[in-house]
Amino acid sequence: MSILPFPSFLDDVKDKGFKKAVFEGIDDSVERLTAGLNIQDLREAFRGETASRRPNPRLTPHADGFWLHMRPSYFNRDVTGMYPTFRLGWLSSYFVFFETITGILLMLWYTPSPEIAYGDMLTILSNVPLGQLMRDMHRLGAEFMVAVVSMHMMRTWITGSYKKPRQFTWFTGLLLLVITGFLSFSGYLLPWDQLSLWAVTIGASMAEATPVVGDQVNLLLRGAPELGANGLLRFYLLHVLALPALLFVFFGVHYYKVVIHGHSLPPQKENIGEDTAKRVPLDKRVYFIPDMLTYEMMWLGATTFIITVLCIWFYHAPLENHADPQVTPLGTTAPWYFLWIQGALKLGDKFFWGVAFPTIALGGLALLPYLDVTPSRRYAHRRFMLTIACLLISLTTILSYMGLAKFAVQTSAETEIVHELTFEPAHSKVGIGRTIPFDQMIVGAYTTAQMDHHDGLSASDAIAAFNAEAAANGQFEQMIQELKAQHVGANQLPLRFRAIPAVEAPKLMRVMEDFHHHLAAVEATELPNVWGALVITDNQGSLKRLDWIVSWDSVLIEGGKVQVDDNGDPILIFSDQVDAEGNPIPVRRIYSDHLFIHQASAYFD
Amino acid sequence: MNLLFIRSIDGRILMGITMFVGMMIMVGWVAINEEARMQAFVEQHTGRAIERGAELYASLCSECHGEEGYGAGDRAPGLNNPHLFGYDPVGLQTAAIINANRALVRLNKDIDTLLAELTDADNPPSEERQNEILAALNDLEAQVDEQNVRIEAAVAERITVLESLDTAVDNGLFPLWDTVVDIEQTAANEVEIFFSNNGTRLAQVGWAGDLRGYIITTLIHGRPGSGNVWPNSEGMAAWSQTAGGALRQDQIEDLAEYILNWDKGAGWAFEDYISVAQYGKPLADGSLPSEPPPPPAGDNVLGILARWEADEVAGSAVSGESLYDKEFGCTDCHRDGASAPDTIGTFTRVTSERLTLPQFAGYSFEQYVIESVVRPGDYVVDSYSSGLMPANFGARMTDQQLADIVAFLMTQG
């Protein structure tokens, strides 16, 4: 007779005593939670002993439990090492979950609106404890995920694992690669800084080249002719809703296929044309519990550990200035994993290289298992396909290199050099001119001409000589006019150049040497008789203004190329004035750019 | 790599736990340093906001408010200005006068009490007490005299300071100064009342909020020109996109950070007060107000061409190249033909291909290029997408700049 009107735990206590009843209750709960393993089974498993119960309780979670029903209960020993999988598939899955978790945390502080998004980034960095770490991890995880998924694809190609019966697995994998690329790309826009706006503008404008539907696709994607509030909202929804949903669907299909067909063995381990992945001999079985489970938990710890170390000491997610559709930054590029398309675009027709070529490439990849139907997976029998794989890797690398801003884009030397010295922080780099310590920004006008005078003159004598020269030929006055046009205050205009204070300001000296070095490299071609100057002025108590000036004799440039005479010297453009000896004077050109540096803004190299 | 393929189960468990604990320790270490890191980020970010604000100020505001914030001519007040930041030039003297007046009130009260006791008919004090009271009264009278001397000294000092402000007053400082006709004749508290109403910019306009709010509101909405103090002012434009201007809210805030960075706090000095153009009169050094900037070209193509003709506007290819590359950043897109037609070959392409199209019958090269610049949406070459090129160049360029750019493109055969 039960104590209560229904059977209860108290009856157990009455029958067996309190201690035994509690232990059995706990044991029972553990077995329910693990879908089949009681405490004793778990102890045996994690001690590496064989199971003492029959039938083997370690298989029950795979049969009865939800979470392990999609994991194989044992693996072939030949696929559990480094080779042939390199754990890339596992890593890809890891990043799917890693990105989901860090992404959801970031969503708590993010609003997809052009007015607010950038401010939210600043809030995450300035007012959310661990916010920076979370953002760095999400960003680094995204970059890793693209790399890992691509490598996973190349590995599958190289070991021939796409062959029958895994053709469809390969196809879903390719879909996952494309989705991963778009996920990463759609996340690019969300911080709403210059980097994101322009990388995405370039990317989205490729879609436009599609015939017939290009404009519509582009409009659908951006929500307006230019990226704005609607575009940001759409990219956000793609990033957090549509693409993850697609990813999880195909992730499920992909993994289901992997389990159905088994992990393909190293090619030399099975006979040609056979697929023995599902027939694992007893002595080759590595059981999921406990072996693979402990492996995976360890990798989980190790991978997260590595990412944490990287994000604390080696990597910070970039955040540039607020997005500004009116200001195109010099040297804008697509994200690195789309650089190959940008490189291809430089080859010619926008439609062919920007749309047709990537489509053909991806289509070819999708059809690969249906085109390459030879039975053998052995490397020796697949020389052609392996060659194609190497060519593909080389081609992508070369095209990506061509996609870099420095490749085949004509920018005039003076713009390039000044930009090189002054560019705002981007991709974890910053123009060296910004890294001069605030107390070394000593007010004055300095020139690279100081370094040109090597003939035994001291720095101050060289400067005195150059001052006289520049005053006589009007080049100094031209610089003053340029400074005035750039709104330098009348009281701030320099009267003459000073020697660079190398002792008090070694970094300033180094920057000027750098400036001189860059100019000297093009003096013989694009910028004859060039000198550069840096004019430092006080703007506010804690704010300096740095004006960078380049002055040179103009040369004839046609089609972006400097025109040379028969001697190989550049052809100068002369004004209608003559000097004292009756020789014509070349047209003197001047270029300037400026930046402001605040004491607290702390740029580092 | 073998480390990641440890063959023993306990090795893996140990490794996993070590990694996990190690990670938690690192995250904990980051967490305890977060306050300092966030503080540093705020400072650094404010610094960069000031830098960006400086850039905006130089290009948009310096024309009227002066490159160094001292004002320019008779168009707008200096912002590097103690008056804006609440510095009171006669604050010390005013405080001295107020303190002395308070002391006087206290002393007079004491005197009244003693006199009342001395003259109390119902309860006359003893002779001894009378002597005591008289002595105390003498002492109090002496203290009253002392305070009066202090007030006189402070008033005299204030007059000196105010007289040395004459230059600034001549330049329009305190437009209502006339109400205090003669400092020496006016009751001292009238000057005080005047300063409490006019001593700072915020008090003067009756602004209830703080200075940042005042600056941001003014930047957003602009303000009408006030003809009585700014004879040559056309008023300040509304700068915010909210109010139809050009700047985003974050840029408005950057600008406000820059303007606020002029505040010297306790470091403001009297010299600052007189070196800045407060109101619109010619400057003390007799310099003239600068000319207003030329109007933008607008987007009426034929109107532009007619003005070129009438004003004999001639373009310079050299200056055009600099405008094209730098000021307006055209080369950023017009460079390799990927997103926009290449700069190189513009002249040939326009004259031999575009102008042969039926819709451009009767167009000159100039007219085609002007239309392409100021109305980029009217015609887009088939292989390029519409909407990429900003449509506001007409509002950003003057006739001369547009002519320079056309002259430059003519050289791009």
- Taking only the tens place, the pLDDT of each residue in B277-328 is 665 444 444 443 344 456 778 788 888 888 888 877 888 888 888 788 777 8
The mean pLDDT of A366-383, rounded to a whole number, is 92
Q: From the list B52, B58, B383, which residue is nearest A350 (CB)?
A: B383
* Residue spans per domain, chain B: 91-196, 301-410
CA distances in angstroms from A12 to A9, A21, A36, A40, A304, listed in the order given = 5, 6, 22, 21, 45
| pLDDT higher than 90, residue A258 | yes
Say whether residue A309 is in contact with chain B using an 8 A CB cutoff: yes
The whole-number pLDDT of residue A569 equals 79
Please give the model's pTM, rounded to 2 decimal places: 0.78
The whole-number pLDDT of residue B86 equals 82
The C-alpha angle with vertex B73 and arms to B71 and B75, in degrees rounded to 5, equals: 80
Assess: ipTM above 0.90.
Answer: no
Q: What is the DSSP letter of A537?
A: E
* Residue A592, beta-bridge partner list: A549
**Cα distance between residue A119 and residue A114, in whole Å:** 9
> Are residues A301 and B332, on separate chains, in Cβ contact within 8 Å?
no
The mean pLDDT of A555-577, rounded to a whole number, is 78
Q: What is the DSSP letter of A314?
A: I
Give the range among A458-462, A509-513, B276-280 with minimum mean pLDDT. B276-280
Q: Which residue has the higher pLDDT, A130 or B230?
A: A130
As a whole number of Å, the CA-based R_g of chain A is: 33
The mean pLDDT of B252-268, rounded to a whole number, is 92
Q: Which domains does chain A have, with CATH numbers?
A: 74-403 (1.20.810.10), 413-598 (no CATH)
Give the range among A179-188, A555-564, B137-146 with minimum mean pLDDT. A555-564
- Taking only the tens place, the pLDDT of each residue in A65-81 is 998 988 999 999 989 88
Cβ atoms within 10 A of the Cβ of A24, count? 14
DSSP B396-412: H-BHHHHHHHHHHHHT-
The mean pLDDT of A170-186, rounded to a whole number, is 95
CA distances in angstroms from A523 to A130, A414, A526, A557, listed in the order given = 50, 11, 6, 14
Q: Which residue has the higher pLDDT, B212 or A489?
A: B212
CA distances in angstroms from A240 to A125, A174, A175, A183, listed in the order given = 21, 21, 18, 9
Q: Which two tokens stand for residue B33?
A: 């340093």
Give the range among A267-271, A418-422, B1-5, B219-223 with minimum mean pLDDT. B1-5
Highest mean pLDDT among A3-12, A403-412, A482-491: A482-491
The whole-number pLDDT of residue B310 equals 80
| pLDDT higher than 50, residue A503 | yes
User: How many A-B residue pairs are in contact by the CB < 8 A criterion?
Assistant: 193
DSSP B337-403: SSSS--STTHHHHHHHTGGGSGGGTT--HHHHHHHHHH-TTS---TTS-TT-S-S-HHHH-BHHHHH
The string over A568-596, giving b where at least 16 C-beta atoms fall within 10 Å of a residue's C-beta and e elsewhere, is eebebeeeeeeeeeeeeebbebbbbbbbb
Average pLDDT of chain B to the nearest whole number: 82
The whole-number pLDDT of residue B382 equals 78
**Which chain A residue's Cα is nearest to B23?**
A305
Q: How confident is the model at residue A477 (pLDDT cuts 50, 70, 90)?
A: very high
Contacts of A543 in chain B (CB under 8 A): 50-51, 54, 258, 261
Burial class of residue A228, CB neighbours in 10 A (0-12, 13-18, 19+): middle
Note if the bond before A112 is cis, omega within 30 degrees: no
Strands (E), B124-253: none
Of chain A, the percentage scoring pLDDT greater than 90 comes to 56
Q: How far is CA A328 from the centre of its chain?
A: 20
The string over A333-367, giving b where at least 16 C-beta atoms fall within 10 Å of a residue's C-beta and e elsewhere, is bbbbbbbbbbbbbbeeebbebbbebeeebeeebbe
Q: By C-alpha distance, which of A219, A189, A140, A201 is closest to A329?
A: A201
The whole-number pLDDT of residue B186 equals 57
Note if the bond before A84 is cis, omega within 30 degrees: yes
| pLDDT higher than 50, residue B170 | yes
The mean pLDDT of B221-234, rounded to a whole number, is 69
Of chain B, the percentage scoring pLDDT greater than 90 comes to 24
Say whether residue B31 is in contact with chain A using an 8 A CB cutoff: yes
The whole-number pLDDT of residue B334 equals 84
Highest mean pLDDT among A194-198, A295-299, A318-322, A521-525: A295-299
Say if residues A198 and A250 touch (Cβ distance below 8 Å).
no
Chain B stretch 99-118, residues whose beta carbon is closer than 8 A to a beta carbon of chain A: none
Say if residues B226 and B233 touch (Cβ distance below 8 Å).
yes
> Are residues A225 and B386, on separate chains, in Cβ contact within 8 Å?
yes
- Taking only the tens place, the pLDDT of each residue in A39-49 is 999 999 998 88
CA distances in angstroms from A143 to A51, A139, A418, listed in the order given = 42, 6, 31
| pLDDT higher than 80, residue B181 | no
Type of residue numbered B60: L
Say if residues B263 and B85 touch (Cβ distance below 8 Å).
yes
Q: How many residues does chain B have?
A: 413
Note if the bond before A290 is cis, omega within 30 degrees: yes
| pLDDT higher than 90, residue B214 | yes
Q: Which residue has the higher pLDDT, A102 or B94?
A: A102
Say whether residue B46 is in contact with chain A using an 8 A CB cutoff: yes
| pLDDT higher than 80, residue A209 | no
Say whether residue B332 is in contact with chain A using an 8 A CB cutoff: yes
Q: In Å, how far is B158's CA from the nearest CA of chain A?
A: 30
Question: Is residue B66 helix, strand or coil?
Answer: coil
Q: Which two tokens stand for residue A532?
A: 């550069």
Q: From the list B20, B262, B335, which residue is nearest A540 (CB)?
A: B262
DSSP A391-441: HHHHHHHHHHHHHSTTSS----HHHHHHHHHHPPPBTTB--GGGGS-GGG-
Q: By C-alpha distance, which of A464, A430, A423 is closest to A447?
A: A464
The C-alpha angle with vertex B175 and arms to B173 and B180, in degrees rounded to 5, equals: 100
> Are residues B20 and A305, on separate chains, in Cβ contact within 8 Å?
yes
* Residue A540, beta-bridge partner list: A543
The whole-number pLDDT of residue B175 equals 60
Q: Which two tokens stand for residue B37?
A: 């890191």
Contacts of A305 in chain B (CB under 8 A): 19-20, 22-23
Q: How confident is the model at residue B172 (pLDDT cuts 50, 70, 90)?
A: low
Cβ atoms within 10 A of the Cβ of A468, count? 12
Q: Which two tokens stand for residue A49?
A: 């002993």
Chain B stretch 213-272, residues whose beta carbon is closer than 8 A to a beta carbon of chain A: 248-251, 258, 261-262, 264
The whole-number pLDDT of residue B73 equals 62
Say if residues A307 and A299 touch (Cβ distance below 8 Å).
no
Type of residue numbered B114: L
* Residue A557, beta-bridge partner list: A562
Say if residues B373 and B394 touch (Cβ distance below 8 Å).
yes
The string over A185-202, giving b where at least 16 C-beta atoms fall within 10 Å of a residue's C-beta and e elsewhere, is bbbbbbbbbbbbbbbbbb
Contacts of B80 in chain A (CB under 8 A): 540
Q: How confident is the model at residue A211 (pLDDT cuts 50, 70, 90)?
A: confident
Q: By C-alpha distance, which of A466, A596, A593, A461 is closest to A538?
A: A596
Q: By C-alpha distance, which of B374, B390, B364 is closest to B304?
A: B374
> Are residues B26 and A309, on separate chains, in Cβ contact within 8 Å?
yes
Q: How confident is the model at residue A92 (pLDDT cuts 50, 70, 90)?
A: very high
Which uninterrupted H or E stretch holds A600? none
Q: Which residue has the higher pLDDT, B227 or A497?
A: A497
**Which chain A residue's Cα is nearest to B28?**
A130
Q: By C-alpha distance, which of A409, A415, A410, A406 is closest to A552?
A: A415
The whole-number pLDDT of residue B290 equals 42
Note if the bond before A528 is cis, omega within 30 degrees: no
Q: How confident is the model at residue A423 (pLDDT cuts 50, 70, 90)?
A: confident
Pairing state between β A557-558 and A543-553 = unpaired
**Cα distance between residue B127 and residue B134, in whole Å:** 11
Helix axes A194-207, A214-222, angle to 10 degrees: 150
Chain A stretch 240-299, residues whose beta carbon is closer than 8 A to a beta carbon of chain B: 290-291, 294-295, 297-299
Q: By C-alpha distance, which of A428, A447, A432, A554 is closest to A500?
A: A447
Give the range among A572-581, B237-246, B262-271 with minimum mean pLDDT. A572-581
**Which chain B residue's Cα is nearest to A415?**
B326
Say if residues A406 and A331 touch (Cβ distance below 8 Å).
yes
> For the range A209-218, what are the long-range contacts, defined as Cβ-Cβ under 8 Å and sequence gap of 24 or more?
A209/A350, A209/A351, A209/A354, A209/A355, A209/B383, A210/A351, A210/A355, A211/A351, A214/A355, A214/B385, A215/B385, A218/B385
CATH fold for the domain made of B301-410: Cytochrome Bc1 Complex; Chain D, domain 2 (1.10.760)
Average pLDDT of chain A to the nearest whole number: 89
The whole-number pLDDT of residue A1 equals 59
Type of residue numbered B153: A
The whole-number pLDDT of residue A61 equals 93
* Residue A102, beta-bridge partner list: none
Q: Which two tokens stand for residue A455?
A: 């003939």
Question: Is residue A332 helix, strand or coil?
Answer: coil
| pLDDT higher than 90, residue A511 | yes
Q: By C-alpha distance, which of A538, A549, A547, A546 is closest to A588?
A: A549
Pairing state between β A531-540 and A444-447 = antiparallel
Place of tokens 């420095």: A406
- Taking only the tens place, the pLDDT of each residue in B101-131 is 889 999 999 999 988 888 888 888 888 888 8
**Cα distance between residue A175 and residue A571, in whole Å:** 55
Q: Which residue has the higher pLDDT, B255 or B362?
A: B255
Question: Is residue A596 helix, strand or coil?
Answer: strand
